[in-house]
Amino acid sequence: MTSVHSPHSSKKNLYALSLGALGVVFGDIGTSPLYALKVSIESAGFKSGADIEPLVQGVLSLITWSLVLVVMIKYVFIIMKADNKGEGGIFALTALLSKALKKDSRYRWFVIVAGALGAALFFGDSMITPAISVLSAVEGLKVLSPDMAPYVVPIALALISGLFAIERFGTGKIGIVFGPVMLVWFSALGILGLLSIMNNPIVLVSLNPIYGVNLLIEHSGVAVAILGSVVLAVTGGEALYADMGHFGLKPIQRAWFFLVFPCLLLNYFGQGALLMSLPSAIDNPFYRLAPDWALIPMLILASIATVIASQAVISGAFSIATQAVRLGYIPRLRVRHTAAEEIGQVYVSKINIFLFAGVVMLVLGFKSSENLASAYGVSVTGAMAIDTLLAGFLMVFVRKWNKWLFVPLFGFLFLIDLVFLGANLFKFLEGGWIPVCVALVLLLMMVSWIYGREKLLKARWSSSILLVDFLKSLDLQLPPRVSGTAIFMVPHDNIVPNSLLHNLKHNKVLHERVVLMNMETVNSPFVADSERVTIQHREHNFHSVNVRFGFMEDVHVMRAVAFLRAREFHFSLSEISFFVGKEKVVARHSSAFLLSPFIYMHRSMQGATEYFQIPFNHAMEIGGYIEV
């Protein structure tokens, strides 16, 4: 009998995961050939009739070594080692550092703000990627016939509208075809590029980094513009780290080395070979690679590939928002799981509406992928720089990697990120202000929420009654007890919740069994069932229960109740009542302005009953005021 853990079965699973990674991890970077080379050469100042060969060689050299240094060495070899129990991404990194730092550490707020800024920049990227990817694919219609130009924007908007409309249904079923479609896409990229290279193999000299350096020196006046465009070739590189938890390190590495990286290089060099022979193909070198009979199939395939890439980025935004809620970085949002078997498949309606509105405005405002390229890059390079900074801090100072080797290495990689970020900031007035403004607004919201939440917890603590003191008071005067189990949702298991005090004050009774339940999200992606619940039995049939969930898990109160019934309490579900505090937060006059965003968000956020998925017919919400 063959073991399920045999080398053969593991190998099959590795191939399946590598195929799945193609549709999620590499969608963004895999569609960059649609526009990256064209925009980069035009940024170098190419004009019709000029010698294009040195521009092509220089740009290809820069693209090649950007892929090697930024994606391969930084992400594939180094940063993907900074995992949080197999999970990657900015919040996994932030959670690791927060866990390692003491609460009063002077670096704590730096880590929190850096993580929040990285997530905010990701949301900016989540708006621009669908817009530029879908536009660049549909622009192939102009190659097919110049008369189709007026239809590019309407068709792009139709595809984008359809994409956002189906998000609420989840991607479980159609996601099965994502990997195979992207396999066909990358294969087509490689084959078309290889055929073009065979016609003009001299283009391969561009592998020499000297050509890239010479281009920047000889065109120093537009060197910043060139670098700002070359970075388009590495957008999506951060997805290798962010989506690591879904597929694992080895499948992503295997897909990168054996398919994605070779096919990307072949296509870029194929476009370069074509331009060196036919400079007029600069209008759209990607589609000009395809023979006439393959133009329509490539247009269809590119449209599908860009929709897949956009869907992956949008799903990533849902995942980031969900993690931010569970880590306490933003208010509670309604999160709906679209697949029972896949924890990562979630849908957040407010995020979906926000992104859809942003993408539509970008398409209508910029109208072409070339114009939109000016707005692209700032959010991506900013997020990459933060990844490098936090990962370097984690590896050198927390995990104690050799500082003599890795401090200079991380410093060099961070310098590359800063060069790319600086180059893109020069495009600020041309559209780069859009992701910057989105990121700053989201950062302000997150920092206000984190700060206000800490003040709220402190106010609760200062005005609260310790549980041990309350239980001692019951020894002196015990109120009437009624049958049933009352579960009070509490932020701490050693203080008496206000909802209990209000109930006792107005109804003059306590339930026969009282459970104080604290739902805690820990700085790990998942929690083992054996470590899920901790129970402390107290006097007068009071019980403090701490339930832990990872920041990648669904916080579900009935799941916690099932653990309690299985381990300790044999109560009937019909006898349970959940008591939830519904506080109205007001600010002191001295801090009203600073805390006003927090108070507004607190009043408009999803209630605890909905967030913890408490059955409505078992819930009782008790209100009150709390001053911060």
CA gap 239, 466 in Å, rounded: 46
Q: Produce one character per residue of 137-161: b if its CB has 16 or more CB atoms within 10 Å, e if not.
A: bbbbbbbeeeeeeeebbebbbebbe
Write out pLDDT tens, residues 386-411.
999 999 988 888 888 888 888 999 99
Phi, psi values for residue 335, rounded to 5°: -115, 125
Query: How does pLDDT run across 191-221, given as a tens digit for each residue?
Result: 999 999 999 999 999 999 999 999 999 988 8
In this structure, the answer to whether residues 281 and 332 fall within a common structural domain is: yes
Q: Which of 163, 167, 175, 174 is nearest to 359 (CA)?
A: 163
**What is the token pair recorded at 198?**
């065979």
Among 78, 60, 118, 567, smallest CA distance to 316 is for 118
**How do strand 481-489 and strand 510-522 relate by DSSP bridges?**
parallel
* Minimum mean pLDDT range among 73-77, 198-202, 360-364, 379-383: 379-383
* pLDDT tens-place string over residues 215-255: 999 988 888 889 988 998 998 888 888 777 777 788 889 99
| Nearest CA among 446, 426, 614, 455 for reference residue 90 | 446
- Do residues 44 and 115 share a domain? yes
CA-CA distance, 324 to 515, in Å (whole number)? 28
> Which residues face 625 on adjacent strands?
584
H or E element at residue 352:
helix 349-366
Let me know whether 476 and 407 are in one domain. Answer: no
Per-residue pLDDT tens digits for 563-619:
888 877 877 878 889 988 777 777 776 566 667 888 888 777 777 788 888 888 888
* 186: CATH: 1.20.1740.10
In a domain, 226, yes or no: yes
d(CA 216, CA 221): 9
Give the C-alpha separation, 233 to 39, whole Å: 10
Residue 114 and residue 238 in one domain: yes
State residue 591's pLDDT score: 62
Question: Cα separation of 332 and 329, whole Å?
Answer: 9
Instruction: Clarify whether residues 583 and 552 are in a common domain.
Output: yes
DSSP code string of 414-476: HHHHHHHHHHHHTTGGGTTHHHHHHHHHHHHHHHHHHHHHHHHHHHHHHT--BHHHHHHHHHH
**190 and 310 together in one domain:** yes
| H or E element at residue 155 | helix 152-166
Helix (H, G, I), strand (E, B) or coil at 583: strand
pLDDT band with cut points at 50, 70 and 90 for residue 176: low
564 secondary structure, DSSP code: H
Instruction: Kindly give the pairing relationship between strand 542-550 and strand 510-522.
Output: parallel
Whether 96 maps to a domain, the answer reads yes
Residues 481 and 428 in one domain: no
Residue 400 burial by Cβ neighbours in a 10 Å radius (0-12, 13-18, 19+): exposed
Query: Cα(509)–Cα(500) distance, rounded to whole angstroms?
Result: 10
Query: What are the φ/ψ torsions at residue 14 (nearest 5 degrees)?
Result: -65, -40
- Nearest alpha-carbon partner for 257 in 272, 240, 275: 240
Amino acid identity of residue 183, one-letter, is L
Domain membership of residue 1 (yes or no) is no
Indicate whether 447 and 468 sit together in one domain.
no
Domain closes at, from 410, 431, 452 = 452
Count CB neighbours of 407 within 10 A. 15
pLDDT in tens, 63-97: 999 999 999 999 999 988 887 777 778 888 888 88
* Residue 73 domain flag: yes
Residues 534 and 440 in one domain: no
Banded pLDDT at 11 (limits 50, 70, 90)? low
Say if residue 4's pLDDT is above 70: no
Per residue in 415-437, pLDDT (tens digit) is 999 999 988 888 888 888 888 88
Structure tokens at 110: 């730096």
In a domain, 458, yes or no: no
Q: Which two tokens stand for residue 70?
A: 């930024």
Count of Cβ atoms closer than 10 Å to residue 218 Cβ: 13
Cα–Cα distance list, 338 to 173, 181, 236, 612, 615 (Å): 10, 22, 25, 17, 19
Domain boundary among 409, 429, 452: 452
Same domain, 480 and 588: yes
- The token pair that represents 208 in the structure block: 């020499």
pTM above 0.85, yes or no: no
- 528 with 425, same domain: the answer is no
Q: Please name the helix (run of DSSP H) or strand (run of DSSP E) that holds residue 599, with its range, or none.
A: helix 592-604
Residue 14 lies in a domain: no
How many domains does one find in the chain? 2
Q: What is the pLDDT of residue 7?
A: 35
User: Average pLDDT of 162-174?
Assistant: 72
3-class secondary-structure state, position 622: strand
Residue 131 has pLDDT above 80, yes or no: yes
- Token pair recorded at residue 143: 């190659």
* 447 has a pLDDT exceeding 80: yes
In angstroms, the CA 32 to CA 36 distance is 6
255 and 286 housed in the same domain: yes
In a domain, 125, yes or no: yes
Is 587 exposed, middle or buried, given 0-12, 13-18 or 19+ CB atoms closer than 10 A?
A: middle
**Structural domain containing residue 547:** 464-627
Contact criterion met (CB below 8 Å) for 612 and 519: yes
Residue 3 lies in a domain: no
* Single residue among 452, 479, 501 that ends a domain in this structure: 452
The Cα 326–Cα 554 span in angstroms is 9
CA 218 – CA 355 distance, rounded (Å): 41
The region that residue 371 occupies, defined by phi over 0 for left and psi between -120 and 50 for alpha, beta otherwise, is: alpha
